[in-house]
């Protein structure tokens, strides 16, 4: 009996060693997309009133966890029984991400009054603020869903051929890191100014390191958010382009003289603006029909 128990414990120890090793491999392979996920979500989580930042982040985080709960079992089933569906889902998600990136560039070049609704502008009622907030949280969760699909598929690819239990544990760990790690860092970023104000208030001396650091944190936040907005837009196009280049035969060997990063960005940009053009024409057509 005792030997049987020790044998089971030994098997568990071996399994956990395998999971730890494969998790490191999967984390390395998904590091790039996790970085893009961080940039995109930090940009989407910014611009809220200070008192609403944590509740909004919590709402997005819960949506992100739900995304993983939905995606994980479906990904395992599709990988086993219908792998071509994974490619279709990835490409459709890539089109959406490319569209989002192109739309941000278009809004920057041709700004519209309604393009960016601020949640800290004066004159908005509480109901209006909550309505805008709800839309932005929903959009952030949709984008998170697509990025989560990409992360999980890459993680699955890194453990292909491993026992099913190992696959489930490794991919689940990566999925958890993609939510807890990413949104934890996002929370730190969007609360930089609050931390700065507390450091300034806690300093009793006119010139102190705490006050100096606090001022840096307060002044740096707008630039960090602006920078993350740019990085997030570029990341959307890179991720989308990478999906197309790596999963569509048409792009295999396409313009081989271009570096892969340049090709991925260019493909994401072109597909994004084509998708944006289709959406704009559809909106104009719909308005014309309604008139």
Domain ranges within the chain, ordered by starting residue: 2-248+258-290
φ, ψ of residue 162 to 5 degrees: the values are: -80, 160
Handedness of CA 184, 186, 192, 193 (dihedral sign): negative
Average pLDDT over residues 226-243: 81
Report d(CA 254, CA 272) in Å as an integer: 18
Q: Are 150 and 76 in contact (CB under 8 A)?
A: no
Report d(CA 149, CA 89) in Å as an integer: 8
Rank 43-47, 159-163, 227-231 by mean pLDDT and report only the highest.
227-231
Structure tokens at 158: 């890194």
Q: Are 91 and 243 in contact (CB under 8 A)?
A: yes
**What tens digit of pLDDT does each residue of 160-207 get?**
667 777 778 888 888 888 788 788 888 888 778 788 888 888 877 777
**What tens digit of pLDDT does each residue of 237-257 get?**
888 888 888 888 887 777 777
Report d(CA 178, CA 144) in Å as an integer: 10
Q: To the nearest 5 percent, what fractions of the chain are helix, strand and coil?
A: 85, 0, 15
* pLDDT category of residue 43 using cuts at 50, 70 and 90: low
Q: Are 190 and 57 in contact (CB under 8 A)?
A: yes
For position 10, what pLDDT does the model report?
47
Candidate from 159-163, 217-221, 255-259 with smallest mean pLDDT: 159-163
DSSP characters for 146-175?
HHHHHHHHHHHHHTTTS-HHHHHHHHHHHH
Instruction: With a cut of 90, say whether residue 77 has pLDDT above it.
Output: no
For position 275, what pLDDT does the model report?
94
For position 115, what pLDDT does the model report?
45
Instruction: With a cut of 80, say whether residue 96 has pLDDT above it.
Output: yes
For position 6, what pLDDT does the model report?
41
Instruction: With a cut of 60, say whether residue 15 has pLDDT above it.
Output: no
φ, ψ of residue 253 to 5 degrees: the values are: 85, 5
* pLDDT category of residue 34 using cuts at 50, 70 and 90: low
Work out the widest C-alpha separation in the chain, in whole angstroms: 81
Q: What percent of the chain has pLDDT over 70?
A: 76
For position 2, what pLDDT does the model report?
45
- In the numeric block, the tokens 């006119």 are attached to 206
* pLDDT category of residue 272 using cuts at 50, 70 and 90: very high
**What tens digit of pLDDT does each residue of 99-120 get?**
988 998 998 888 765 444 455 5
Q: Are 38 and 182 in contact (CB under 8 A)?
A: yes
**What tens digit of pLDDT does each residue of 115-138 get?**
444 555 555 677 777 788 888 888
* pLDDT category of residue 219 using cuts at 50, 70 and 90: confident
For position 281, what pLDDT does the model report?
93
For position 220, what pLDDT does the model report?
85
């Amino acid at each position: 009996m005792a030997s049987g128990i020790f044998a089971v414990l030994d098997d568990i120890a071996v399994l956990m060693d395998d999971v730890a090793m494969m998790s490191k491999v999967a984390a390395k392979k998904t590091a790039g997309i996790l970085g893009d996920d961080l940039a995109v979500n930090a940009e989407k989580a910014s611009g809220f009133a200070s008192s609403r930042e944590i509740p909004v982040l919590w709402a997005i985080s819960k949506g992100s966890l739900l995304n993983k709960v939905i995606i994980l079992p479906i990904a395992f089933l599709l990988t086993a029984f219908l792998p071509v569906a994974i490619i279709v889902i990835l490409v459709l998600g890539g089109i959406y991400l490319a569209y989002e990136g192109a739309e941000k560039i278009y809004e920057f070049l041709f700004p519209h009054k309604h393009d960016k609704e601020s949640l800290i502008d004066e004159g908005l009622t509480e109901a209006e603020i909550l309505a805008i907030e709800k839309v932005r949280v929903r959009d952030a969760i949709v984008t998170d869903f697509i990025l989560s699909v990409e992360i999980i598929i890459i993680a699955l690819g890194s453990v292909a051929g491993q026992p099913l239990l190992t696959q489930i544990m490794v991919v689940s760990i990566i999925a958890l890191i993609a939510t807890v790690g990413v949104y934890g860092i996002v929370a730190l970023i969007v609360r930089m100014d609050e931390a700065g104000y507390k450091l300034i208030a806690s300093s009793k001396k006119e010139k102190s390191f705490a006050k100096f650091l606090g001022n840096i944190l307060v002044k740096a936040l707008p630039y960090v958010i602006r920078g993350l907005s740019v990085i997030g837009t570029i990341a959307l196009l890179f991720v989308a382009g990478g999906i197309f280049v790596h999963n569509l035969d048409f792009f295999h060997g396409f313009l081989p003289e271009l570096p892969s990063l340049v090709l991925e960005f260019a493909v994401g940009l072109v597909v994004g603006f084509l998708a944006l053009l289709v959406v704009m024409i559809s909106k104009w057509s719909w308005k014309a029909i309604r008139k």
